[in-house]
Chain A
Amino acid sequence: MSDAKAVADRLVKAKRLNALLTPSKDLRKSLAAQEAAARPTGVLYGMPVSVKDNICTLEFTTTCGSRILEGYQSPYEATAVAKLKAAGALIAGKTNCDEFAMGSSTEHSAYGRVLHPLDKTRVPGGSSGGSAALVAAGAVPAALGSETGGSVRQPAAFCGVVGMKPTYGRVSRYGLVAFGSSLDQIGVFGRSVHDAARVLSVISGRDPRDSTCEDRDPLRLPTVPESLQGFVIGLPREYFPAELDPAVRRACERAIRLIKELGAAVREVSLPHTPYAVPTYYVIAPAEASSNLARYDGVRYGPRFNGSADVRSLYRSTRGQGFGAEVRRRIMIGTYVLSAGYYDAYYKRAQQMRALIAQDFRNAFDRGVDLLFTPTVPSPAFKAGEKLSDPIAMYMSDIFTVTANLAGLPAMSLPIGRVKGLPIGGQLIGQAFLEDEMIEAAYALERVVPATEEA
C-alpha cells in the first residue's frame, strides 16, 4: 500500500468529525499525484499536512468556510503551501473552519460544525477547529491553521495538541485570505512540539510577495535541552484571575512546578492592560475585516445571488446571502467603528490601547523575563451551542490569546493535562523573533508534563 493511500485512508476514517472539506475522491486523486511529484530530498518528504481552508492551494478549492466562496479555485497558491511542497510534504486536503476565520468554536462554518475528537457534544475550538481535530484524531501529524486572535492556540488547547503562532512577519501571509491584516499570521498544529516546529521552520522566512514579512532567514530549530537552567519564566498575574476554572489552575500549577524542577527561575509579573485586550481586539479586528471583506461583492469571485437588477443590489444581495451571521455582524461592527463620528471614540482609542498592551510585554521582557507562561484558555472545551447566542461569552474564550496577536509576539499552546478527560493547554509567549527560545522551553516541558493525565 502506498503512503498516499494510507494518508487518504486515515483522513477518510476521520470523516465523522466534519473536519475536512475536501471530498474523499478528490483527496485520493490529488495525494497520489502529489506523491509521484514530491521531491524525495525534501526535509518533510512524505509528511501529510492538511491546510486550513482560508489558505490558497492549487490542489483544492479555497472557500474560507463561506458560501460566498463556494467552489472557489484559487489561481495561485500561498507561499507557505509552496514551501511545504518544495520540502516534499503532501498537501492533505483543506480543513473546515469558522467562516473567514471569525469564531472560537468552528460552529460558524457554512459547511457545518466540526466535532471535538474526544467528545462529539463539544466544540474543538476555533477558528482552525478542523486542523486541530484532524491532528488530535491522529489523521495527520501536522496541519496549517491561521491566527488573528488565537485561532490556532485555542483549538490546540481544546483538542490536546501543540499549536504555534509565530511572530508577526515570520511567515509570509501571501495566499492567506486576509481577515485582520495587522494581526493575521499562519500557524501550525502538531502532534508534538517537534512536528509543529519543523513545519514552522519550513514555512518561515522572507518572501518578496508580502511586504509585511520580515527579511529574515527561516527559523532554525533548537536542540532538545537537558534542563531549563538559565531561563527566567514570567507568570503574568492577570492571566490567573480568581474566577479561573479550578482544574485549569491545577494543571497550570503542576506545569509551573515542573518548570521549576527543570531549573528555570519563575517570577510573577504584571501586564496591567490585559483586561482591555478583548475589547481592543473586537474593535481592531472587525475594522480591518470590514475593509478586507469589501472585495466579496459577487463580481470577481464565487457565486452571485439575485444579481440581475443592478450593481448595487448585486453587491447587497450577494453579501447579505453569501456571508453568515457572525461575519455580517463583524463587518457591521467594523463599519460602525470606522464611520464618521465614531472613529476617535472606538478605533483610535483601540489603537492606543494596543500600543499600551504591547508596551506591557516589552516592560516584562526588559526586566529580564525570557518567556511568559499562562493558561491558553480559561476553561476546557465547551458544549456545542453553549455560547452561540452570546457573542461576548464566545469572545471571552480568546482572553489569554488575543494579547500576543495585538503585540505581534510568538506564542504557543501545548497540552499540560486533562480534566474529566478533556485536554488543558498551557501557553508560552516569547519575545519577537525568538521562537527558538520558546520552542526550546516547550521541548523541555513536553518531556516531563503528564499531558494526558488528570490534573
Chain B
Amino acid sequence: MSVSRDEVLRIAQLAELDVDEDALPELVDNMSRILDYVAQLSAVAANGTVKAFVPGPDAIRFRPDEVNPPPLAFGPAEFAPAFKEGFFVVPKLDQFE
C-alpha cells in the first residue's frame, strides 16, 4: 500500500471531498495501485536539464483592454443555486469553523 487510510482522508480534506466510510477501503486500494503504477516515472533518471513542455503559443497574446458586455445569453441569477440583488447567496461565513 503506497497510501494509508489517514493519508487518503487528509487528501480528501485538501480536495474538499466527503468520503463515505464504506467507500474508503476501495479508494485506498485504488489510489495505492494508481500511485504505484505512476511511480515508474521516478525510475527514470531525473534530468534537471529537461524543461517542462506545454503545447500552444509560446507567448500569451493580450486582448485590447476594452470594456465589453459579458457574452452571456442571460445573467447569473438564472444559473446560480441562489442569487439576490447581484450577489450569489451562500451560507453565512460565521458558521464556518
A interface vs B, CB < 8 Å? 58, 72-77, 167-169, 182, 208-209, 211-212, 214-215, 276, 279-280, 282-283, 290, 294, 297-304, 307-312, 314-317, 319-321, 323, 325, 328-329, 331-333, 335-337, 339, 345-346, 348-356, 358-359, 391-392, 407-408, 432
* Alpha-carbon distance A329/B33, docked complex (angstroms): 12
Q: Is the CB of A304 within 8 A of B15?
A: no
Instruction: Point out the residues of chain A lying under 8 angstroms from B19, CB to CB.
Output: 320, 328
Q: Is the CB of B91 within 8 A of A336?
A: no
* Alpha-carbon distance A311/B97, docked complex (angstroms): 9
Instruction: Point out the residues of chain A lying under 8 angstroms from B11, CB to CB.
Output: 332, 335-336, 339
Residue of A302, A307, A352, A391 with most partner-chain B CB within 10 A: A352
Q: Give A310's nearest chain B residue, CB to CB.
A: B95
Q: Is the CB of B91 within 8 A of A211?
A: no
Q: Give A308's nearest chain B residue, CB to CB.
A: B91
**Cβ-defined partner of A215 (8 Å) among B23, B47, B53, B61:** B61
Q: Is the CB of B53 within 8 A of A358?
A: yes
The 9 closest A-B pairs by CB, nearest first: A408-B55, A320-B18, A355-B53, A351-B52, A310-B95, A168-B55, A75-B72, A352-B50, A279-B38
A169-B96 contact, Cβ under 8 Å, with A320-B18, A333-B31, A336-B35: no
B43-72 with Cβ < 8 A to chain A:
44, 46-47, 50-57, 60-61, 63, 70-72
**Overall SS of chain A's interface:** helix
Instruction: Point out the residues of chain B lying under 8 angstroms from A310, CB to CB.
Output: 91, 95-97
**Cβ-defined partner of A311 (8 Å) among B40, B51, B63, B90:** B90
Q: Is the CB of A332 within 8 A of B74?
A: no
* Alpha-carbon distance A224/B78, docked complex (angstroms): 48
Question: Distance in Å from the Cβ of A212 to the closest Cβ of chain B?
Answer: 4
Instruction: Point out the residues of chain B lying under 8 angstroms from A331, CB to CB.
Output: 15, 17
Instruction: Point out the residues of chain A lying under 8 angstroms from B73, CB to CB.
Output: 58, 75-77
Q: Is the CB of B78 within 8 A of A298?
A: no
A182-B54 contact, Cβ under 8 Å, with A329-B34, A336-B11, A349-B46: yes
B30 contacts chain A at the CB level, 8 A cutoff: yes
* Alpha-carbon distance A299/B88, docked complex (angstroms): 7
A323-B90 contact, Cβ under 8 Å, with A349-B44, A353-B41, A392-B37: no
Instruction: Point out the residues of chain B lying under 8 angstroms from A352, CB to CB.
Output: 46-47, 50-52
Contact with A along B1-20 (1 / 0, CB 8 A): 00100001001101111111
* Alpha-carbon distance A349/B39, docked complex (angstroms): 10
Instruction: Point out the residues of chain A lying under 8 angstroms from B27, CB to CB.
Output: 328-329, 332
6 further A-B contacts with Cβ under 8 Å, apart from A76-B71, A321-B18, are: A276-B40, A279-B37, A283-B38, A311-B91, A315-B16, A345-B42
18 contacts between A and B (CB under 8 A): A75-B73, A169-B57, A182-B54, A208-B63, A211-B57, A211-B60, A300-B79, A310-B95, A317-B18, A325-B23, A329-B34, A332-B8, A352-B47, A353-B44, A355-B53, A358-B55, A391-B33, A392-B34
* Alpha-carbon distance A304/B83, docked complex (angstroms): 13
**Cβ-defined partner of A299 (8 Å) among B52, B56, B81, B96:** B81
* Alpha-carbon distance A50/B80, docked complex (angstroms): 27
Q: Is the CB of A355 within 8 A of B50?
A: yes
A329-B30 contact, Cβ under 8 Å, with A75-B75, A312-B96, A407-B55: yes
Q: Is the CB of A316 within 8 A of B91?
A: no
Q: Is the CB of B95 within 8 A of A311?
A: yes
A290-B15 contact, Cβ under 8 Å, with A279-B38, A314-B91, A355-B53: yes
Q: Is the CB of A346 within 8 A of B38?
A: yes
Q: Is the CB of A328 within 8 A of B17?
A: yes
Instruction: Point out the residues of chain B lying under 8 angstroms from A72, CB to CB.
Output: 79
Instruction: Point out the residues of chain A lying under 8 angstroms from B25, CB to CB.
Output: none
Q: Is the CB of A336 within 8 A of B52?
A: no
* Alpha-carbon distance A329/B8, docked complex (angstroms): 10
Instruction: Point out the residues of chain A lying under 8 angstroms from B30, CB to CB.
Output: 329, 391
A316-B41 contact, Cβ under 8 Å, with A310-B91, A329-B31, A355-B51: no
Question: Distance in Å from the Cβ of B95 to the closest Cβ of chain A?
Answer: 4
Instruction: Point out the residues of chain A lying under 8 angstroms from B88, CB to CB.
Output: 299-300
Q: Give B61's nearest chain A residue, CB to CB.
A: A211
Question: Distance in Å from the Cβ of B76 to the closest Cβ of chain A?
Answer: 7
* Alpha-carbon distance A39/B3, docked complex (angstroms): 57
Q: Is the CB of A297 within 8 A of B16?
A: yes
Q: Is the CB of A320 within 8 A of B17?
A: yes
Question: Distance in Å from the Cβ of A331 to the closest Cβ of chain B?
Answer: 5
Instruction: Point out the residues of chain A lying under 8 angstroms from B61, CB to CB.
Output: 211, 215
**Cβ-defined partner of B76 (8 Å) among A75, A279, A339, A345:** A75
